[in-house]
């Protein structure tokens, strides 16, 4: 009888030890998996990227306006001073058609000129017939400035005074830079540029700011509307740590999309994943992926793509079994679907 009891206790002890060993192994695997796949939290990754992008934007923008660069327009009140002939000094308002009337010269077109450009124009006109070497200064006493409108994913969208000739980056800086969900293109809508009355310029912001293509830093006109759309969206589901929808803020690969979703779950099957791509008119393309291969990881993710990673049966079995602790000092082996825990 004593021998039977001893064998029974030895069996229970062995079973408990095996269960504890398996559980410790599973816990170790889970912890090591977390360390590998969650090197940088995706939220921090997004914030750092946007902050860096806006930092480059402000570094490239011209934040201060020189008064001589003021853009003249209808309704502006100007003090015009000719140093060589004070009798010609006058204060004049720009007409609705963009002209000012000056002594001896009559009507002079100044609309869409900066104060400096208007000074040079008036100097040249006086030089032709009246003054050998004139020097003209213009002071804008009242400025009825035109405006530009910033819409979409700016930090501070709205309508802003357009005091001087500025380029794209200068005007973008007025809106405080891009929001956290901004796309990487900007539309500049300009009225009166075509026979239809409107033209649209589309600028790739990555090429402009990151690659330094200065020719894309186009000059902005008054009444232009700048629009930054929301970033495209892709979806990640299946055996990942944080399934859900994510924004495309730059060229995003499958590998980067998985990082956004927290990385693969420990029970994921790297060799079997599917990329579902919308191709228009209700049609979708199914692309099979082997995530263990670099060529699959480097595929670009596009707007409305759905990335589904499959679970490994063996992985679910290994990560599902464990030692469940109940009453202190006692435990039991059991199985819990790991997909409900990640």
CA diameter of the chain: 132
Q: Whose CA is closest to 260, among 35, 51, 44, 52?
A: 44
pTM: 0.58
Run of H or E including 44: helix 42-60
The token pair at 281 is 């008119």
Q: State yes or no: pLDDT of 198 exceeds 50.
A: yes
pLDDT in tens, 151-178: 999 999 999 988 777 899 999 999 999 9
Q: By residue range, what is the domain housing residue 114?
A: 72-142
Q: State yes or no: pLDDT of 287 exceeds 90.
A: yes
**Lowest-confidence range among 64-68, 110-114, 128-132, 193-197?**
193-197
Look at residue 254 and tell me if it is in a domain.
Answer: yes
Q: Give the per-residue pLDDT at 68.
A: 66
Q: State yes or no: pLDDT of 29 exceeds 80.
A: no
Look at residue 162 and tell me if it is in a domain.
Answer: yes
Q: Give the per-residue pLDDT at 245.
A: 86
Q: Judge whether 251 and 207 are in contact, CB under 8 Å.
A: no
Where is the domain boundary, 170, 195, 228? 228
Which one has a higher pLDDT value, 172 or 12?
172
State the CATH number of the domain containing residue 110. Answer: 3.30.1950.10
Total domains in the chain come to 3
Q: State yes or no: pLDDT of 303 exceeds 70.
A: yes
Q: Judge whether 190 and 221 are in contact, CB under 8 Å.
A: yes
- Do residue 102 and residue 180 come from a single domain? no
State the Cα–Cα distance between residues 152 and 230, nearest whole angstrom. 7
Average pLDDT on 62-87 reads 83
Q: How many CA atoms lie within 13 A of 154 on its CB side?
A: 23
The token pair at 277 is 């791509």
Residue 294: φ, ψ to 5°: -55, -35
Q: Tell me the β-bridge partners of 93.
A: 77
- Do residue 289 and residue 340 come from a single domain? yes
State the Cα–Cα distance between residues 269 and 264, nearest whole angstrom. 9
């Amino acid at each position: 009888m004593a021998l039977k009891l001893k064998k029974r206790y030895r069996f229970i002890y062995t079973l408990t030890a095996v269960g504890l060993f398996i559980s410790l192994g599973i816990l170790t695997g889970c912890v090591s998996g977390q360390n590998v796949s969650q090197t940088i939290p995706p939220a921090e990754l997004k914030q750092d990227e946007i902050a860096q992008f806006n930092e480059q934007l402000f570094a490239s923008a011209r934040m201060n306006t020189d008064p001589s660069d003021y853009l003249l327009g209808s309704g502006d009140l100007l003090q015009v001073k000719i140093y060589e002939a004070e009798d010609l000094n006058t204060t004049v308002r720009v007409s609705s058609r963009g002209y000012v009337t000056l002594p001896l010269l009559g009507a002079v077109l100044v609309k869409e000129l900066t104060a400096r450009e208007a000074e040079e124009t008036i100097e040249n006109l006086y030089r032709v017939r009246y003054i050998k070497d004139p020097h003209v200064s213009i002071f804008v006493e009242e400025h009825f400035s035109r405006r530009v409108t910033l819409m979409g994913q700016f930090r501070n969208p709205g309508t802003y005074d357009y005091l001087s000739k500025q380029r794209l980056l200068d005007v973008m800086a007025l809106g405080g830079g891009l929001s956290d969900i901004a796309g990487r293109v900007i539309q500049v809508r300009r009225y009166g540029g075509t026979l239809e009355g409107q033209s649209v310029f589309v600028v790739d912001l990555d090429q402009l700011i990151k690659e330094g293509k200065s020719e894309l830093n186009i000059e902005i006109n008054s009444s232009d509307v700048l629009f930054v759309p929301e970033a495209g969206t892709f979806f990640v589901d299946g055996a990942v740590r944080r399934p859900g929808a994510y924004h495309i803020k730059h060229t995003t690969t499958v590998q980067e999309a998985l990082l956004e979703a927290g990385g693969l779950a420990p029970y994921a099957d790297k060799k079997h994943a599917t990329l579902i791509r919308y191709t228009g008119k209700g049609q979708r393309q199914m692309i099979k992926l082997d995530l263990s291969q670099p060529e699959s990881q480097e595929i670009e993710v596009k707007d409305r793509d759905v990335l589904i990673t499959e679970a490994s049966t063996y992985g679910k079995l290994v990560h599902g079994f464990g030692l469940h602790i109940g009453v202190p000092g006692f435990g039991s082996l059991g199985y819990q679907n790991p997909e409900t825990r990640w």
